[in-house]
């Protein structure tokens, strides 16, 4: 079901400062910041030859990252994103097997403009999993 790792996300208290550190100290290519109000985050992507790291800071009062950073003030690994060909099929198979989709269970649009959903970390050894559809299939992408 899952494809390649799309990115690993790291929660940070200040995305601009983190981007400078990754760029200047590691020589990484860093994208421009992007604010995703519907997800409650501000992000930059760090690109390397074999993958991406997403640096995320909370945005807005209801940001899901606020609690994470309250427990981990310096930040830390937040989630792993895997690619899938059809997110509706993946969601149905996962729910059938007992996995819990976070939020209201509906697919959202992520930072890359593609359908995403998150799976409860209790099913995956404490790791939050994001699934991102990489191939448009015309499936039931927005509805549950």
Instruction: Assign 88 to helix, strand or coil.
Output: helix
CATH number at residue 17: 3.10.180.10
pLDDT the model gives residue 112: 87
Which structure tokens are listed for 9? 């996300």
| Model pLDDT for residues 61-85, shown as the tens digit of each residue | 889 899 999 999 999 999 999 999 9
pLDDT the model gives residue 141: 38
Residue 92 maps to a domain? yes
Residue 115 maps to a domain? yes
Number of domains the chain contains: 1
Whether residue 130 lies in the annotated active site: yes
Residue 80 maps to a domain? yes
Burial class (CB in 10 A: 0-12, 13-18, 19+), 52: middle
Residue 29 maps to a domain? yes
Residue 40 maps to a domain? yes
The pTM score is 0.87
**What pLDDT band is residue 139 in, cutting at 50, 70 and 90?**
very low
Residue 128 maps to a domain? yes
Give the span between the Cα atoms of 36 and 60, in whole angstroms: 10
Which entry of 54, 57, 83, 130 is annotated as an active-site residue? 130
Domain with 17 in it: 5-133
User: H-type helices in 8-132, by residue range?
Assistant: 15-26, 65-71, 87-96
Residue 139 maps to a domain? no
Cβ 79 vs Cβ 131: under 8 Å: no
Which structure tokens are listed for 81? 């994103």
Give the span between the Cα atoms of 2 and 22, in whole angstroms: 28
Residue 138 maps to a domain? no
């Amino acid at each position: 079901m899952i494809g390649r790792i799309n990115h690993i996300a790291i929660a940070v208290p200040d995305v601009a400062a983190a981007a400078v550190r990754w760029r200047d100290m590691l020589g990484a290519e860093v994208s421009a910041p992007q604010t995703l109000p519907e997800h409650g985050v501000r992000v930059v992507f760090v690109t390397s030859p074999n993958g991406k790291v997403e640096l995320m800071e909370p945005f807005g009062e209801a940001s899901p990252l606020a609690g994470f950073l309250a427990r981990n003030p310096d930040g830390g690994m937040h989630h792993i994103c895997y690619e899938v060909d059809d997110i509706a099929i993946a969601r149905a198979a996962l729910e059938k097997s007992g996995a819990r989709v976070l939020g209201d269970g509906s697919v959202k649009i992520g930072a890359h403009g593609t359908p995403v959903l998150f799976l409860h970390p209790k099913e995956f050894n404490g790791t939050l999993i994001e699934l991102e559809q990489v191939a448009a299939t015309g499936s039931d992408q927005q509805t549950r």
